[in-house]
Amino acid sequence: MNLKGKSILLGVSGGIAAYKAITLCSKLAQAGADVKVIMTESAVKFVAPLTFQTLSRHHVVTDTFEEKDPSVVSHIDLADHADLVVIAPATANILAKMALGMGDDMLSTTLLAATAPIIVAPAMNVHMYEHPAVRANMETLRERGVRFIEPGEGQLACGYVGKGRLAEPEQIFAAIIDSFEPNRPLQGKKVLVTAGGTVERLDPVRYLTNDSSGKMGYAIAEEARAMGAEVVLVSGPSSLPRPAGVEFVPVLSALDMLSAVMERLEEMDVIIKAAAVADYRPAEASPVKIKKKDEELTIRLVKNPDILQQVGARKTKQFVVGFAAETNDLEANALDKLRRKNCDLVVANDVTREGAGFGTDTNIVTILDKNGTAERLPVLSKREVARHLLQIAADRLVSSGGE
């Protein structure tokens, strides 16, 4: 990896994960980048500036008013010379300052002056990460084009187990490389992804749904966008933030999802059906709240259309990917779905395995191809599964003359 000639401004804010920024700084310098480091006052409490100075061969700036070179204004000069700004770790505090446009220390002031792309790798306690204010700030920044490298899940320094660990330096480094040498194999392609679970109304206050979080589908939509595609995300209700830069089509029922997909099918190059679609819906949705009367209540359900099957039946040039959530006979059941629904690929996962299925950040999948091959992947983040899958789709579009 060569970063020669690239100027990277590394902002280190105050969290215990600041120690991981040392490895990142070292990797960047080794790759030839000219790295300049700004540390917040709190970051200095965790790690000594001298460490970064030694690795970057530059003075580490911490104070806005410490103007060492009278020929320049330090925060403007640092901002102007950066090809890329990376904040790792980013605390809830620096995210809030960035979202609000505050400039009350060297890092936040420089960020206001920076016009280069910004990559942010947050790290904090799980409850802080989930706080609505932090979520809203991240959403604001995302909308402004800031790229996030999501924290990992696991044991946190505060003792909690959950999401909030700074992404590993290798992962941040890979995102930096990608921002300079973008891998855009889906440039010019249109990708439609369905995500989340559907909602089937019983009456105005009740419905049938399932446990799908939407994580897999949202990761696919975000990665497809990063790989250059024009993305449509058709999603059932989900608590996840809307991915930036994709056309978002919110739906509720399977019937809504069917029409949203079918309307757009023709113009798409890739269709990925990660949604957990309800197989049945109530035969009638009562317009008024169903009253409690008898000891037993029977709700008659009717079959929903199979969206994937209809896509498979109508597809022309489209590369179609289905998902198969199974609890037994994984590959045989998934292969049967692939054939019945005329898919090009089926991503099969055994939802009973730990680290796979609904709500988790990871997945353990086997990718079955219509030509009969099965690729069994290890535990990967849903994002990695998404990238892998999309790379297969991109390769296939090229080999089928789709370029």
Distance CA 77, CA 58 (A): 14
How far is the C-alpha of 347 from the C-alpha of 256, rounded, in Å?
24
Considering only 132-140, 171-179, 199-207, 301-309, which stretch makes contact with ligand CTP by CB under 6 A? 301-309
Rule CB under 6 A: is residue 218 a binding residue for ligand CTP? no
Angle between helices 106-113 and 92-100 (to 10 degrees): 40
What is the Cα–Cα distance from 203 to 225, expressed in whole angstroms? 37
Nearer to ligand CTP, 275 or 397 (CB): 275
Residue 10 interacts with ligand CTP (CB under 6 A): yes or no: no
Could you tell me the smallest distance in angstroms from the CB atom of residue 347 to ligand CTP?
Answer: 8
Find the farthest-apart pair of alpha carbons in the chain and give their distance in angstroms, rounded. 85
Q: Is 308 in the site for ligand CTP (CB under 6 A)?
A: yes
Task: Give the helix ranges, DSSP H, for 292-402.
Answer: 307-314, 330-340, 382-399
Contact pattern from residue 37 through residue 56 relative to ligand CTP, giving x for each residue in contact according to CB under 6 A and a dash for the rest:
--------------------
Residues 282, 290: contact at Cβ < 8 Å?
A: no
Give Cα separations from 196 to 41, 92, 140, 214 (angstroms): 42, 28, 23, 4
Using the rule CB under 6 A, which residue among 34, 105, 306, 350 binds ligand CTP? 306
Q: Are 362 and 380 in contact (CB under 8 A)?
A: yes
Nearest approach, Cβ of residue 348 and ligand CTP (Å):
9
Name the active-site residue from 100, 158, 313, 332.
158
- List 167, 219, 271, 325, residue binding ligand CTP (CB under 6 A): 325
Residue 393 binds ligand CTP (CB under 6 A) = no
Catalytic residue at 158?
yes
Q: In whole angstroms, give the CA distance from residue 116 to residue 196.
A: 34
Say whether residue 105 binds ligand CTP (CB under 6 A): no
Q: Which of 216, 307, 365, 392 binds ligand CTP (CB under 6 A)?
A: 307
Tokens 């009278």 map to which residue?
70
Q: How far is the CB of 228 from ligand CTP (least distance, A)?
A: 24
- Pick one of 28, 167, 323, 344: the residue that binds ligand CTP (CB under 6 A): 323
306: CB partners within 8 A, 6+ apart = 277, 341
Q: Omega of the bond prior to 89 within 30 degrees of 0, cis?
A: yes
By CB under 6 A, residue 337 contacts ligand CTP: yes
DSSP 8-state class, residue 104? S
Indicate which single residue of 90, 128, 149, 275 sits in contact with ligand CTP (rule: CB under 6 A).
275
Our CB check for ligand CTP shows the closer of 232 and 254 to be 254
Asked whether position 254 contacts ligand CTP by CB under 6 A, the answer is: yes
Write the CA distances from 180 to 2, 176, 206, 265, integer angstroms: 10, 7, 49, 33
Kindly determine how many residues on this chain lie close enough to bind ligand CTP according to the rule CB under 6 A.
Answer: 14
CA-angle at 89, arms to 85 and 90, nearest 5°:
75
193 near ligand CTP, rule: CB under 6 A:
no
Judged by beta carbon, residue 43 or residue 338, the one nearer ligand CTP is 338
Instruction: Identify the CA nearest to 256 among candidates 271, 236, 238.
Output: 236
Contact between 273 and ligand CTP by CB under 6 A: the answer reads yes
Each residue 355-384 as x (binds ligand CTP by CB under 6 A) or -, in order, gives ------------------------------
Active site residue ranges: 158
Binding site for ligand CTP (CB under 6 A): 254, 273, 275, 277, 279, 304, 306-308, 322-325, 337
